[in-house]
Amino acid sequence: MLKRLLRYGFGAVLGILVGGASALYLAGLWPGTEPLDFGNIEVDGWRSDFNIGSEAADPYTRTRVARHGLLGLAKSEAVYFTRTTDSSGEPLREACEYRLSGGAMPAEWWSITLYDADSKLPMNEDAALSVDATGVSGNSEDWSALISPKRPQQETYWISSRNAGTFDLTLRLYVPIRALLDAPEDTLKPPVVERLSCEGEAP
């Protein structure tokens, strides 16, 4: 009888461990998983899930967003696109310099912000955490910014990656136009992230 109970107990505990761990893994909360490689929409390497903030979101998205995008707005008010790699598919990292370039966006206001692997703003005092539509208003149709751990001497727009380690970029589009919600792939021309050089590599 005791052996039988032990077998059932072993099965139950194993099931709970595997079931719990698989939920965390699929929601991107397990250490080592890519929490931001999710979503049902991808436009040129920028990923999004338009169910963020809504009750329609599947349980995996809701769990992931609770950890990495808490207090995000529903799509009628704002949509969020994230990318973790440069245009050649390499992870974004502090040791490299990148050129971020783009044009007008299909929304009333947009911004691009750099976050570290913990989904936090990198701990530096450079006051260069993002670029936004108001900041590039004179060049809104054709703008570019440098992403670098050091303040550039010539660039007008700069996002500091100092102390960011491996990072990602989040594109916020506030009050998006209807066409973006209906057909994001046809409507959004997202910024390009081109790697310029990396520390220790020949330019």
Partner 1 sequence: MKRWIGPLVAMVVCGIAAHFAVLHFTPGLIMDRTLSALKDRGIAEHAFTTPLRITPQTQAVVRTSPDLFYSLCRYDLSEEGSELSITMAEWPGYQSLSFFDADTNNFATIRGTGEAKNAYLITKRHPVGEDSHKILSPTSRGVVLIRRLAPTQELFDAAKEASVNDSCEWKAG
Under rule CB under 8 A, residue 182 binds partner 1: no
Which stretch of DSSP H or E encloses residue 25?
helix 2-26
* 120 or 201: CB nearest partner 1: 120
Q: Rounded to the nearest whole angstrom, what is the least distance from the CB of residue 169 to partner 1 in the complex?
A: 11
Neighbours of 93 (CB within 10 A): 17
Under rule CB under 8 A, residue 195 binds partner 1: no
Binding piece for partner 1, criterion CB under 8 A, among 83-91, 128-136, 143-151, 182-190:
128-136
Under rule CB under 8 A, residue 34 binds partner 1: no
Under rule CB under 8 A, residue 124 binds partner 1: yes
Is residue 92 a contact partner of residue 167, using CB atoms and an 8 Å limit?
yes
* 15 or 196: CB nearest partner 1: 15
Which stretch of DSSP H or E encloses residue 3?
helix 2-26
Residue 123, CA distances (Å) to 15, 97, 129, 198 in order: 40, 18, 10, 21
* Residue 128 buriedness (CB in 10 A; 0-12 / 13-18 / 19+): buried
Give me the helix-helix angle, 2-26 and 59-68, nearest 10°: 70
Under rule CB under 8 A, residue 149 binds partner 1: no
Out of 34, 40, 67, 103, the only residue in the binding site for partner 1 (CB under 8 A) is 67
Would you tell me which residues interact with partner 1 (CB under 8 A)?
A: 4, 7-8, 10-20, 22-24, 27, 29, 53-55, 59-60, 62-63, 65-74, 76-77, 108-109, 111, 113, 115, 118-125, 127, 129-130, 132, 134-135, 170, 172, 174-175
